[in-house]
């Protein structure tokens, strides 16, 4: 048996009398890769926050159970303590300072210094930064993960994928590192970058550093894990050795039921086209950092579900963002026969066009407001819903707001204590459900949804995709969905547009082959693919 570096025994935790961990135990050996899987809300992040001594745990009564590190019991009280023990974490949400260089981010709070005249008199606090030493250390860490980037590069100018690797370099640079937690590290990466990252994790493991890997991409989990720990509703379901279960079996363990994305959607082209276009996009260009659009032309038919797919950085995300007015856009968008204004988000909303952003925490939600307010706010602002009038005076109809929010919580299966809770307390999948609920209560005629399942578990994915299908089929809402997950687009869409180099390369049926999609996303012309 491998030398055990970490044991977590019978860990329990509750928030507001809601028990989110119910006696969870796991072991991690030196150099072992242990994957932690489960639906959003299963308790994965809470368990890792306990291990890392996060304030969200310490300030809410701590935890019950025992943590044994290198054979000695420890009580985790702060991230500083965890780091001193040799525990690092690569967070799902970047913990980088965009205006700082790679070196400054990697060495933050661990800067190398050298004495000067003043420090020799008044003490080390006045020492000078040893920038040459810092840059050398950073270069060494970057080389270990094969990231060829100048340590002087400002992080804010880098691609999302490179930022993720800078996070890893920061942990690798810690000389005492013994275990690294990777929390959804591939959620924002391209397929090529994901392969690169998995190879990097293998190298880290081979060097004797233990890894806890959290991911909703079960194929990656199956590929990289020495063992898999499955959580469901705060309980340990099973610990599985390599090769003991396939992806379907693992998904069933996670959610307690069979989950199938194999069905191919799509209605006949004649059925889609008979309704005519609800939106005509002509020569659309959008200046969105890392996702520029250079001239998109496409008609979107009333009542259809249209998908946009493509590799990261090719422009697919910018289409919806430009139409929604969040980034500078040029060209022409005709909606219901009327030209849409660019750069005026409120006007777009007033025309009945909803938008669910890929950035749920930055754009999609008000994290410090209640779930109830988040769900109802857009309908209040744009359509004057949830008000009671008394002559010249208006008052919020809080009872109707609560009833509406509670209905959406039940309908979408949002896991929360009640609708007064804040989205910041929820898992990523449940935050995404709040974003969907907000758009639905707004009652749009047309809905743009960007990366609706990014970083969420397989059960929540199924709920969200089924709900979008229901909105389309039963309520007649025209839906445009942008996603990096081709299998999900094929299970939902009537047509799928492939975006490459800022333009629509081709529009395919969901039944077209993986090879056709792959070649078009790589830049080949439609005639070359045929």
pLDDT at position 28: 96
For the stretch 145-197, pLDDT in tens is: 888 889 999 988 887 778 888 988 999 898 899 999 998 888 767 677 788 88
Q: Where are the beta strands (DSSP E) in 261-368?
A: 277-286, 293-301, 305-309, 329-335, 338-339, 353-356
What are the domain boundaries of the chain?
Answer: 4-255, 269-350+485-530
pTM of the entire structure?
0.64
Task: For residues 274-299, give the mean pLDDT.
Answer: 91
φ/ψ region of 214 (left if φ > 0, alpha if ψ in -120 to 50, else beta) reads: beta
Distances, alpha carbon 14 to alpha carbons 63, 77, 101, 174, 419, in Å: 8, 17, 39, 32, 18
- Share of residues in the chain with pLDDT > 90 (%): 49
Task: For residues 79-96, give the mean pLDDT.
Answer: 87
Per-residue three-class SS string for 38-86: CCCCCCHHHHHHHHCCCHHHHCCCCCEEEEEECCEEECCCCHHHHHHHC
For the stretch 481-501, pLDDT in tens is: 998 888 889 889 999 999 988
Q: Are strands 179-183 and 387-390 parallel, antiparallel or unpaired?
A: unpaired
Q: Are strands 64-69 and 72-74 parallel, antiparallel or unpaired?
A: antiparallel
Between CA 422 and CA 105 the distance in angstroms is 30
pLDDT at 366 over 80: yes
pLDDT at position 284: 96
- Share of residues in the chain with pLDDT > 70 (%): 93
255 vs 137: which has the higher pLDDT:
137
pLDDT at position 1: 46
- CATH architecture of structural domain 4-255: 3-Layer(aba) Sandwich (3.40)
Helical (H) or strand (E) element with 117: helix 117-122
pLDDT at position 69: 96
Phi/psi for 230 (5° steps) reads: -105, 125
Averaged pLDDT score across all residues of the chain: 87
206 vs 461: which has the higher pLDDT:
206
pLDDT at position 135: 92
pLDDT at position 335: 96
Helix 458-475, helix 247-255: angle, nearest 10: 80
Between CA 300 and CA 445 the distance in angstroms is 13
Task: Of 349-353, 374-378, 406-410, 426-430, give the lowest mean pLDDT range.
Answer: 426-430
For the stretch 119-148, pLDDT in tens is: 677 666 667 778 899 999 999 999 988 888
pLDDT at 403 over 90: yes
Residue whose C-alpha is closest to residue 43's, from 71, 63, 72, 59: 63
Task: For residues 33-54, give the mean pLDDT.
Answer: 88
pLDDT at 313 over 50: yes
Q: Are strands 387-390 and 393-396 parallel, antiparallel or unpaired?
A: antiparallel
pLDDT at position 259: 56
261 vs 471: which has the higher pLDDT:
471
Per-residue three-class SS string for 406-419: HHHHHHHCCCCCCC
- CATH architecture of structural domain 269-350+485-530: 3-Layer(aba) Sandwich (3.40)
Helical (H) or strand (E) element with 26: strand 18-29
């Amino acid at each position: 048996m491998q030398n055990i570096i970490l044991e977590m025994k019978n860990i329990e935790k509750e928030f507001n009398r809601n028990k989110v961990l119910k006696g969870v135990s796991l072991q991690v050996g030196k150099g072992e890769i242990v994957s932690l899987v489960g639906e959003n809300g299963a308790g994965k992040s809470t368990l890792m926050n306990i291990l890392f001594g996060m304030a969200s745990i310490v300030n809410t009564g701590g935890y019950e159970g025992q943590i044994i590190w290198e054979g000695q019991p420890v009580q985790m009280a702060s991230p500083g303590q965890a780091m001193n023990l040799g525990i690092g974490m690569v967070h799902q949400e970047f913990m980088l300072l965009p205006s700082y260089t790679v070196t400054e981010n990697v060495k933050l709070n661990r800067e190398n210094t050298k004495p000067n005249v003043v420090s020799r008199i008044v003490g080390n606090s006045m020492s000078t930064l040893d920038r040459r030493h810092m840059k050398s250390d950073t270069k060494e860490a970057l080389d270990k993960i094969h990231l060829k980037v100048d340590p002087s590069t400002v992080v804010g100018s880098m691609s999302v994928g490179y930022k993720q690797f800078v996070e890893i370099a920061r942990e690798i640079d810690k000389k005492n590192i013994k275990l690294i937690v990777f929390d959804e590290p591939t959620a924002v990466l391209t397929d090529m970058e994901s392969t690169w990252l998995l190879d990097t994790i293998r190298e880290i493991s081979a060097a004797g550093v233990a890894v806890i890997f959290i991911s909703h991409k079960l194929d990656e989990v199956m590929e990289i894990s020495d063992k898999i720990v499955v959580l469901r509703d705060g309980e340990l379901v099973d610990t599985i050795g390599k090769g003991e279960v396939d992806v379907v079996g693992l998904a069933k363990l996670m959610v307690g039921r069979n989950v199938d994305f194999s069905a191919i959607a799509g209605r006949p082209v004649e059925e889609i086209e008979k309704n005519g276009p609800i939106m005509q996009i002509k020569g659309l260009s959008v200046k969105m950092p890392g996702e520029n659009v250079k001239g998109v032309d496409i008609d979107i038919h009333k009542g259809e579900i249209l998908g946009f797919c493509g590799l990261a950085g090719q422009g697919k995300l910018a289409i919806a963002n430009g139409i929604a007015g969040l980034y500078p856009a040029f060209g022409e968008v005709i909606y219901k026969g009327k030209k849409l204004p660019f750069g005026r988000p409120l006007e777009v909303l007033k025309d009945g066009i909803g938008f669910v952003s890929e950035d749920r925490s930055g754009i999609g939600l008000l994290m410090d407001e209640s779930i109830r307010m988040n769900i109802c706010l857009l309908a209040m602002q744009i359509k004057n819903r949830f008000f009671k009038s008394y002559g010249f005076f208006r008052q919020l109809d809080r009872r109707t707001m609560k009833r509406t929010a509670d209905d959406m919580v039940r309908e979408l299966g949002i896991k929360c204590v009640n609708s007064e809770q804040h989205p910041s307390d929820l898992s990523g999948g449940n935050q995404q459900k709040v974003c969907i609920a907000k758009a639905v209560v707004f009652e749009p005629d047309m809905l743009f949804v960007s990366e609706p399942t990014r970083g969420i578990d397989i059960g929540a994915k199924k709920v969200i995709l089924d709900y979008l299908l229901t909105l389309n089929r039963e309520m007649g809402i025209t839906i445009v969905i942008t996603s990096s997950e081709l299998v999900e687009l094929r299970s939902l869409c009537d047509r799928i547009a492939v975006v490459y180099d800022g333009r629509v390369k081709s529009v395919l049926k969901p039944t077209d082959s993986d090879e056709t999609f792959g070649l078009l996303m790589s830049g080949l012309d439609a005639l070359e693919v045929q």
